[in-house]
Structure 1
C-alpha cells in the first residue's frame, strides 16, 4: 500500500491497478450489475450529463443578466457548492459503491422516506430530460432544414439511444466518452479562440478587458443600482446551479465501476476540476470578447444562432463557426440523451433495491443490464412527441418544470446523507481515518452544501415575487411541492422512522480488500 497523501482536499489510499480482465459482478442486494466502467468512463458520464445545451446556449443570457464579473463570481460560487457535494459523495461512494447511490444513501443514513422522495424526483428529472434531449435534437437539426419532420427525428434518436442502453455497460461507457470528448474539445477550442480574440485576432482588434470597463463589471437585472446588480448575480447563481447539475453522476455510476476504491475518488476529483476549468474559463473569456449589452445574448432560439460562441465568432468576423457549433450542439444533446437513460435506470435500481420501487426493476439480464429499469426510463422519452402540437407542448413544459429543482434537492440530500453517514460511523466505532478517501473540513463542508442548496432551491423562483403571476409561481415551485408531498406522504403511509445511527447499514454493498462483498454481520479486518 502507498502512504496516504493530500490531493485537492482529499486523502486517498493506494490500491492495486485496475484489472484488464472481464468485469466483475457488482452485487447490490439481488442486483447483479457488471463492474465495467473505468475511471475515464465515470469522468465522461458525469461531464456528458453536465455540459449540455444549457451551458452552450444559456451562458449568453447569464452574461447579459449579471455582467462579466457578476457572471464569473456566480459560477465560481456555485463551484464551491458543487465541491461540497462531490467530496461528501466521494467518501460514501468509495466506502459503499452502490448503484444509484444518491437516493440509497439518504435511505440508509437519514430517513427512508427522504430516500424515497429524492429517488423518485431525481428519476423523473432524468426521464423527462430524455424527452427534452430528443426534442432539442430535432430543433437543432431543423437549423439546417426547417422542413425536416420533428417526429421522424425524435423516433430515430429514441430507438438508437434506447438500444444503446441495452448494450453492456462498458460499450455504453465508451460511446459516452467519445460523445463527451467532442464537447470538451469544442470548449477547449473556444477558450483558445477567446484568448486569441482578446489578444487582438479579429476585426475588433485587441480587446483585453475593454468590456469590463464599458458597459461595466456588473449588469442590472429587473431593478436599478446595487439592487439590480445583486438580482443579476443571484439570477445567474441559480442558472449556474442548474448548469453544473450532472456532475454528481459519478456517484450514480459508482456501483458499476472497476475497483471503485481507486477509480471513484480519482473520477470525482477529475470531474470536478475538469468541469470547473471548462465552465469558468469559458465564462471568463466570454466576458472579455462579448459585451454584456449585446442584444443577441438574450435570444431564445434553440440552435447555434443563440450560442454566445457564435456571437463571439460573428463579432470577430469568423463566419464558418455557426455550422460547426450547431453540429457540436447536436452532439451535446445526444450525449445528454445517452446519460439520461443510464442515470435514470440506475436510480430505479437503487429504489427497487431499497424496497421503494417494484422488485422487478432491479432484475438484470445475463450481461448485467437492468432491462426493466432501462425500458421504463426510456419509455418516458416518448413524451417528446407531445411537442408536435401546441397543446401537448404546454403539457410537456409543465412536466419539465417538475424536474427543474430535482438536482438541487439531490445535492442537498447528498450532503445531509454524508452527515448521517459520519454520525453512523462514529456510533458504530468506525474511524474515518481508515476510509479509502477522506475529504477535508468535514462535516462543515457538508453543512455548507446543505445550507446553500436549500437556499438556492427556495429562492430559484424569486422573480415571481417581483412580478407576481400565479402560474409562474407553480411553474417555479411545483418540484419542491412534489418533493414535500412524496416525503410526507411516504412517511404518513409507511410510518418510517428516522435512521438510528447505531442501526445504519454500513455493510451491504461494501467490499473487503480481497474484492469479496461483505454480508450483514461481517466486518473485514481492515477497511
Structure 2
C-alpha cells in the first residue's frame, strides 16, 4: 500500500482513510464502509479561492512588489551609514539571497500552485510542525507590517501637511483604502497593484535617468559630478563610535546596511502566495521568477549606484530623518541642481508605494491564514469564502491589525509601536531561511524518488547551491540583526532584536509535541496528493498578433 500524506479528512474517494499531513501520519488502512459524501478528499477541490489574477498582474507584482519606501527613502540612510561602495555591496549581497529564496519558492510553487504556499510546503516536505511555525511566523510578520506601512504613508504626507492633529485623520483614510481594496476581491487587488507597480516603475526609472543626467552635468547648474563623492569624503563610511578602528568601523557600518537592505527586499515572495489565485500559475510565476534577476540588477543595484554618485554620505540633509521625500538623496540632488517641482511628484509616488506595500501585506497575511485554516492549523472559521472565492473572514481578521497604526498618532504609544515594528523584522529572515531549507528537502525527496525536476514549469540549474547560499546568509542575518545592542547593552533592545527566535522555536515545539509530528524522510514525501495537474491549472497561451500585444508580452 502506498503511503498517503493528506489533509485532515476521514475518507478518500477510493475507500481509504486518509492521514493528516499536519499530524505527520503516513499509514493508511482499507475500510469497508462507503465514504461519506460530505467529505471531499481532494485538497485542491477544498481550496475555494478562484484564479482571477492575470498574467500582467503577476508580472507587475513580481517586478515592483518590493519597490517601496525601503528603496526610495532607505537608500539615503544606507548611503549615510556605509558610504556609496558599502551600500552597493550590501544591496548586492542581500539581492543575491533574495534571488536564491525566490528561485527556491518559485520552483516549489511551479510544482504545487496551491493555497498555503511555502508554509504548507514546509509541512509537506520538512516537518508538519515546521510548517506550522513558518505559517504563523509569516502571518504575524505580514499582519504587523500592515500598520507599519500605513504609518510610513501617513508620515510621507507630512511633506505637504505637518500639522500633528491631522495624523489620525490621514491614518483613518489610509486604513479604509487598504481594507477596501482587499474586501472588494482579488481582481481589485490585482488591478490596484498593477497601477501601483506602474507608478513605482515609472518613478525609479525616472529617478535613475534624472540622477544620471544630473551626475553628467545636464542639470540647469551644469555641474558635472561623476564619481567625485567616491573620492571625497570617500567610498566607505565608518561607525562614528569606532573611528579609532577604521577597519572594524567600516565592516560594522556595512553590516548595519545589510540588515536594513534585507527589509527592502522582503516581500518579493508575494508572487508565490498569490499562486492559488493566478491564471495559469505555473507559466506566469515561472516567467516572473526568470525575470527577477535583471530587475534586481537594474532597479536595486543601478539605483543604489546612482544614489551614491549624487550626494556625499556626510551630507547634513541626508542625515536628517524626516520619513518623507525630503530625506531622499534624489530629492536633495534635484533641489540643489535647480530642478523645480519634482520633489512633490516623488513624494506622491512614494506615498503610493507605502500604500501598495500595506495592501500587499494584508493580502499576504489573509491568504496565509486561509491556507493554515484549510489544513487544520488555524481555526476553521478562517477558511470560509464567499461564492466568488474571497476568504472574507481571514481578510477581516488580518485587516483588524491596520488599527495598530493609530498607536503611532499618540506619543504615549509610539514606543510600543516601534517595538512591534522591530519584532516583525526577524520574521522576514526566518521566512527566507524556511524557504531555502524546505527547498533542500524538496530537492532530496525528488532525487530519492527519481522524479525529474526538469519536468516542472520552472527549475534552476544552480540548485541546490542557491538554497544553500540562502540558508547560510539568512542564519547570519538573524544572528547579526541586533549586534548594535552589545555596544550599549540593555535588556529591552536585546529582547526586541532576538525574541522572535524563541517564539518561533516555542511554536514549533508546541505543534511537534501536541500533534506528535515527525520529520519527513525523502522516500516518504508526497509530491502528488492534492496538487492540481497542468491540465487543471494552465490555459493555452494565445500568441499576440498586434504590435502593442507583442510589446506587452515582452514587458509582462
Contact 1:188 1:278 in 2 (8 A): yes
Separation (CA, whole Å) in 2 of partners of 1:289 and 1:159 = 38
What is the alpha-carbon distance in structure 1 between the residues aligned to residue 292 and residue 56 of structure 2? 9
> Could you say which residue in structure 2 is the equivalent of 1:184?
201
CA distance in 1 between counterparts of 2:366 and 2:421 reads 18
Shifted more, 139-148 versus 224-233: the winner is 139-148
The answer (yes or no) to whether the contact 2:44–2:532 under 8 Å persists in 1 is no
**Residues in 1 aligned to 2:97 and 2:181: alpha-carbon distance in whole angstroms:** 33
Shift of 1:504: 2.1
Q: 2:334 aligns with which of 288, 313, 317?
A: 313
Deviations 1:292-350 (A, max 9, x none): 11122222211122222211212222242221122112111111121111111111122
How many Å apart are 1:391 and its aligned residue?
Answer: 2.3
Residue among 317, 338, 353 paired with 2:374: 353
In structure 2, the CA distance between the partners of 1:175 and 1:223, relative to structure 1 (3 Å rule), is same
TM superposition shift of 1:64: 1.2
Aligned to 1:370: 391
CA contact (8 A) 1:100 1:251 kept: no
Following superposition, the deviation at residue 124 of structure 1 comes to 1.2
Gaps of at least 5 residues in structure 2 are 1-41, 539-556
Which structure 2 residues correspond to residues 19-418 of structure 1 after superposition, within 5 A?
Answer: 28=44, 30-147=46-163, 149-202=166-219, 203=221, 205-221=223-239, 222-224=241-243, 225-418=246-439
Q: Distance in 2 between matches of 1:208 and 1:62?
A: 20
Instruction: Work out whether residues 64 and 201 of structure 2, in 8 Å CA contact, stay in contact via their aligned partners in 1.
Output: no
CA distance in structure 2 between the aligned counterparts of 1:122 and 1:488, rounded to whole angstroms: 17
1:6 counterpart residue number: none
Check the 8 A contact 1:304/1:310 in 2, yes or no. Answer: yes
CA distance in 2, matches of 1:46, 1:513: 22
Q: Is the 8 A contact 1:31 1:364 kept in 2?
A: no
Deviating more after overlay: 91-100 vs 505-514 = 505-514
Partner of 1:422: 443
Cα distance in 2 for partners of 1:514, 1:122 equals: 31
Cα separation, 1, equivalents of 2:468 and 2:157: 44
Distance 1:208 1:170 in 2: 45
| Greater CA drift, 354-363 or 106-115 | 354-363
- 4+ runs of 1 displaced by more than 6 Å? none
SS for the counterpart of 1:439 is coil
RMSD: 1.9
SS of residue in 1 equivalent to 2:282: helix
> Structure 2 length normalisation: TM-score?
0.85
Judge which range, 123-132 or 189-198, deviates more: 123-132
SS of corresponding position for 1:413: helix
Is the Cα contact below 8 Å between 1:118 and 1:410 reproduced in 2? yes
Indicate conservation of the 8 Å contact 1:47/1:246, yes or no.
no
In the TM superposition, residue 102 of structure 1 has moved relative to its aligned partner by: 2.1
Aligned length: 492
CA contact (8 A) 2:279 2:537 kept: no
CA distance 1:358–1:505, shift in 2 (3 Å): farther
For 2:359 and 2:516, the matched residues in 1 are separated by 37
Q: What are the Cα deviations for residues 199-240 of structure 1, in whole angstroms up to 9, with x where unaligned?
A: 112336111111111111211124231111111222111111
Aligned match of 2:514 = 493
Q: CA deviation at 1:146?
A: 2.3
**C-alpha distance in 2, partners of 1:350/1:57?**
34
After superposition, what is the alpha-carbon deviation per residue over 1:461-507, rounded to whole angstroms, capped at 9, x for unaligned? 11112232222211211222322222223223332211233232312
Q: Using structure 1 for the length normalisation, give the TM-score.
A: 0.89
Deviation (angstroms), 1:439: 0.3
Give the secondary-structure state (helix, strand or coil) at the position aligned to 2:339. Answer: coil
2-structure distance, mates of 1:155, 1:192:
36
Structure 1 residues 406 and 272: alpha-carbon distance in aligned structure 2, compared to 1, 3 A threshold:
farther
